[in-house]
Amino acid sequence: MKKIKLFIFGFLAIFVFEHCQPKTNGDGSSQTPTTPAAELGPATKFDSIVQQLKGFGTLTKADMNELNIIDTSYSYDSSATIYCDTTIQLNDSIFYSIIFLPDQYGVCSYNFIVTIDEKNKRAIASQYLNADCDIDFSAGVYDLYEHKIVASDIVHLTKTTIFQKKDKTSGNEQENIDHSKEQISFFRISQAGKISFVEL
């Protein structure tokens, strides 16, 4: 009985020894097990911001301060939460995001294009895109904005100015419109992350 126990114990010891040794490459060097990148988590604050932008997550004022490219006249009055609307990867290193900063009063949101160099861990540029504010239908004139991505490197912006009738008698605001005027512009984002404005 003792011999059987010793045999089983010896067999298990050899099995554990063989399977717990580092695996070797063909040249005899050993392979060290690595932790998957997903388990390591973001290495820096910048990496965390990149993850949020790529995941269409939310950012904070501290995140905006870390990027240091949004005009303080907008970021100072913004609420505590900044949202990412869209992220487009231009190449291995450069991507851009469209973010919007709601003001602290809940009246307007300010949209920006932000370009990021994730390889060199830096923000490249930002460009004010448009405001999205509550409409005062009592005003004689008001503006509406719409942006959309028409190519991977082009953001199309339409500004529609609405002129209302002098005598607004209908409860339907569409029926109170006298006429409207459209203005089209484009923002082009280069492979290096520079943003240029083209107005038609």
> If phi over 0 gives left and psi between -120 and 50 gives alpha, with beta otherwise, what is residue 149?
beta
Q: Taking the CA atoms of 178, 183, 184 and 189 in sequence, report the sign of the dihedral they define.
A: negative
Give the residue-averaged pLDDT of 162-170.
Answer: 84
**What's the pLDDT score for residue 76?**
63
pLDDT exceeds cutoff 60 at 37: no
Check residues 40 and 194 and name the one with the higher pLDDT. Answer: 194
- The C-alpha torsion from 63 through 66 and 67 to 70, rounded to 10°, is 80
Give the residue-averaged pLDDT of 35-56.
Answer: 75
Share the mean pLDDT of the chain: 81
Check residues 72 and 41 and name the one with the higher pLDDT. Answer: 72
The total of other beta-carbon atoms located within 10 Å of residue 121's CB is: 14
Give the residue-averaged pLDDT of 30-49.
Answer: 62
**What's the pLDDT score for residue 15?**
46
**What's the pLDDT score for residue 88?**
96
When mean pLDDT is compared across 71-80, 93-102, 167-176, 178-187, the lowest value belongs to 71-80
pTM confidence score: 0.73
pLDDT exceeds cutoff 90 at 30: no
Q: Taking the CA atoms of 60, 65, 71 and 75 in sequence, report the sign of the dihedral they define.
A: positive
